[in-house]
Amino acid sequence: MEFPKFKAATVQTSPVFLDVEKTVDKAVSIITEAASNGAKLIAFPEVFVAGYPYWNWIMTPVQGSKWYEELYRNSVDVSGPDMQKIYDAAKEFDIHIVIGINERGESYGEIYNTNLIIDNLGNLIGKHRKLVPTWAEKLTWTSGDGSSLKVYKTDIGPIGTLACGENTNTLARFTLLSLGELIHVANYISLPVAPPDYDMAEAIKIRAAAHSFEGKLFTVVSCSTISKEIMQRLKPDVPNVEELLTRKNSAFSGFIGPNGTTIGTPLIDDEGIVYAEIDLAKCIQPKQMHDILGHYNRFDIFDLRVNVAPTSKIRFVDGFNNLGG
């Protein structure tokens, strides 16, 4: 049996705000750099293409309405031309990619917070739609469903992903573990408008460590930053935007090993790319003590049921009220 070893990269940076083409070009540039340094997997932040709806937190819903429309115009169809450069880069540089996007739905105004899983042949092998938009995010995103709660087999190992706050969802995480996840990509956004006593960077680290320790796997964390360009775009509507969107310890990106400890030195707030060597054989020994998928569980007592059926918006029933006509 083979246990893959490979070099992984994770990114901490901001998108080119609400500009799909320039953000995709930035992503390709970063992919090129990471691949040149030997990376076979790269993780990008939540909704990296092409931006997070910060206005939900610092404006009223009425004030944010025009920004919602602009975000919709800069959402993407995963099978459309906007993302092709990234798929092509995955193939050209022989690298697996997990990247967050604003995915355009079928209805005007329908946007999903989606993570794409792209293999090293340039194939879009999966997409995960955030199950529950967090707090003010409900003003923007439609909820995903269980059909996207999957783990994807790749040349470097089985990959699963969750976006931001849903990494606190114990049942979602256990579902991925039960599907054989050994590489977990958790991506986030910087959120300085959290309560004053909330250390966002530490909270991200705690979530990643919990999942890695419980599942005995590797967690790759990628978090975005808030650029001056983003703040300048929002400043006409929120004059004190710098005060609201600037706070230390708001972003954490790095790697957590199967024992729950940090691998190398993570990035906190600063932009850049972090690398780590991943050896999936290291997932074996820790399971001798706690294997919650095997000997360290009681499935005769606990039974988790997961609905993986896609949500249906409508059902047509032939002859439903046909009273003898």
Instruction: Point out the residues that are catalytic.
Output: 46, 130, 164
Identify any residues that bridge with 274 across adjacent strands, giving them in sequence order.
10
Assess contact for 10 and 33: CB atoms under 8 A: no
Contact 116, 97 (CB under 8 A): yes
Find, among 137, 161, 163, 158, the residue nearest to 149 by Cα: 161
Distance CA 58, CA 132 (A): 21
3-state secondary structure of 299: coil
CA pair distance 10, 154, nearest whole angstrom = 18
Distance of CA 118 to the CA centre of its chain: 13
- Between CA 75 and CA 47 the distance in angstroms is 10
